[in-house]
């Protein structure tokens, strides 16, 4: 394959950039969900009701 | 049509505000996001492997043409992402759509990332073909301006203590920057550029072989779905983060009130 270093660098960037954004979005969502579960009264109430039922 | 008459259009406003409910957005996006992400991963895996190993090399450029399968979708998404930003800005300025503000804030960094990817892969393609990493060509320069517009938007929306003022300022900048999109598109026709003219257009037949066009289309659809999935995931996180801020502020206000009444 001709120009291999240029092609390899392009494909590496093309995978790393979207993957980084995806991982960052997942990390933010997980952190927000944890925090919300801890402080949101509606969620705490829902969790309590679920625990009482089980 | 002026802004007040648009704002008073009841049908459009009602249908848009149906999706302005954060709870409804979280439910709807939560159902769509896994399928969108899965489709993006599958299409990208197929398209990148196809472009890298199975698509033919170009008679003139050799294997360097394989960079096209990542460079062209990144370029399309850089421009269409900015168009998405501008649409969110209109929704924000005219209809005060609350999710449009959050979506605009979240599109900014992703669009900047894809524009940087377009510039970097273009540079990696330009070096072996043109003998230079960069030339001050109309297409390259207008895409660089697009990158700076994204960076300006990111900085501007975060520059105010009051987020609403930041959203408004960012929306105005985004709308002013839209003028750059036709310049990017037609730069290769209006000026004598080193960058090649478009090989694919909506009106004419593509000027590339189908054996190259198919993997390019698969990569383009894959990257578009990935872009959409990333923006939706980031907007979901932003909706939850806004709810957290609101709850913490409400809690702080009630604590202050309680301390005041006790004292």
Quote the pLDDT of residue B13. 52
The band of A46, judged by pLDDT with boundaries at 50, 70 and 90, is: low
Ramachandran region, residue B47 (left: φ > 0; alpha: ψ -120 to 50; beta: rest): alpha
Quote the pLDDT of residue B19. 60
pTM of the model: 0.87
The band of B14, judged by pLDDT with boundaries at 50, 70 and 90, is: low
For residues B15 and B3, give the distance between their C-alpha atoms in angstroms, rounded to a whole number.
Answer: 17
pLDDT at A32 over 70: yes
For residues A45 and B209, give the distance between their C-alpha atoms in angstroms, rounded to a whole number.
Answer: 61
Quote the pLDDT of residue B2. 36
Quote the pLDDT of residue B98. 82
Contact B85, B5 (CB under 8 A): no
Quote the pLDDT of residue A14. 96
Q: What is the mean pLDDT of residues B39-43?
A: 97
For residues B35 and B181, give the distance between their C-alpha atoms in angstroms, rounded to a whole number.
Answer: 31
CA distance B44 to chain A (A): 9
Among all residues of chain B, which has the CA nearest to that of A13? B117
Q: Are B243 and A21 a contacting pair at CB < 8 A?
A: no
Q: Of the ranges A19-23, B46-50, B96-100, B213-217, which one carries the lowest mean pLDDT score?
A: B96-100
Strand-pair partners of B58: B62
Among all residues of chain A, which has the CA nearest to that of B72? A14
Which of A4, A11, A28 shows the shortest C-beta gap to B48? A11
For residues B18 and B3, give the distance between their C-alpha atoms in angstroms, rounded to a whole number.
Answer: 20
pLDDT at A15 over 70: yes
Residues of B with CB under 8 A from a CB of A: 37, 44, 48, 52, 57, 62-64, 66-67, 70-71, 74, 109-110, 113-114, 116-117, 120-121, 124-125, 127-128, 223, 226-227, 229-230, 233-234, 236-237, 240-241, 243-244, 247-248, 251
The band of B7, judged by pLDDT with boundaries at 50, 70 and 90, is: very low
Interface test with B, best of A8, A14, A35, A43 (most B CBs within 10 A): A14
Quote the pLDDT of residue B115. 97
State whether ipTM is beyond 0.90. Answer: no
CA distance A49 to chain B (A): 20
**Radius of gyration (C-alpha) of chain B in whole angstroms:** 22
Q: What is the DSSP string of B74-100?
A: HHHHHHHHHHHHHHHHHHHHHH--HHH
CA distance B156 to chain A (A): 21
pLDDT at B232 over 60: yes
Q: How do residues B90-111 score in pLDDT, each as one tens digit?
A: 999 998 888 899 999 999 999 9
For residues B225 and B232, give the distance between their C-alpha atoms in angstroms, rounded to a whole number.
Answer: 10
For residues B158 and B109, give the distance between their C-alpha atoms in angstroms, rounded to a whole number.
Answer: 12
Chain mean pLDDT for chain B: 88
Quote the pLDDT of residue A43. 62
What's the CA dihedral at B134, B136, B140, B144 to 10 degrees?
90
């Amino acid at each position: 394959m001709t120009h291999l270093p240029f092609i390899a660098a392009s494909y590496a960037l093309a995978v790393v950039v979207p993957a980084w954004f995806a991982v960052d979005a997942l990390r933010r969502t997980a952190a927000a969900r944890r925090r919300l579960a801890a402080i949101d009264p509606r969620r705490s109430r829902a969790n309590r009701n679920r625990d009482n039922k089980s | 049509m002026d802004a007040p008459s648009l704002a008073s259009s009841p049908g459009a406003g009602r249908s848009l505000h149906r999706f302005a409910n954060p709870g409804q957005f979280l439910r709807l996006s939560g159902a769509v996001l896994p399928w969108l992400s899965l489709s993006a991963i599958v299409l990208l895996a197929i398209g990148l492997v196809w472009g890298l190993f199975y698509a033919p090399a170009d008679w003139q450029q050799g294997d360097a043409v394989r960079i096209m399968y990542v460079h062209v979708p990144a370029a399309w998404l850089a421009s269409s992402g900015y168009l998405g930003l501008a649409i969110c800005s209109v929704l924000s300025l005219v209809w005060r759509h609350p999710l449009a503000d959050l979506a605009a804030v979240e599109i900014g960094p992703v669009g900047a990332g894809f524009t940087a990817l377009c510039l970097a892969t273009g540079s990696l393609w330009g070096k072996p073909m043109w003998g230079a990493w960069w030339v001050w060509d109309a297409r390259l320069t207008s895409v660089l301006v697009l990158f700076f517009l994204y960076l300006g938007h990111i900085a501007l929306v975060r520059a105010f203590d009051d987020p609403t003022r930041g959203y408004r300022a960012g929306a105005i900048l985004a709308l002013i920057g839209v003028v750059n999109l036709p310049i990017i598109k037609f730069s290769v026709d209006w000026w004598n550029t080193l960058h090649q003219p478009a090989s694919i257009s909506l009106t004419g037949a593509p000027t590339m072989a189908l054996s190259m066009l198919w993997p390019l289309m698969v990569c383009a659809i894959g990257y578009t779905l990935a872009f959409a999935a990333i923006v939706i995931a980031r907007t979901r996180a932003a909706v939850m983060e806004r709810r957290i801020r609101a709850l913490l502020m409400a809690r702080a206000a009630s604590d202050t009130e309680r301390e005041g009444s006790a004292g």
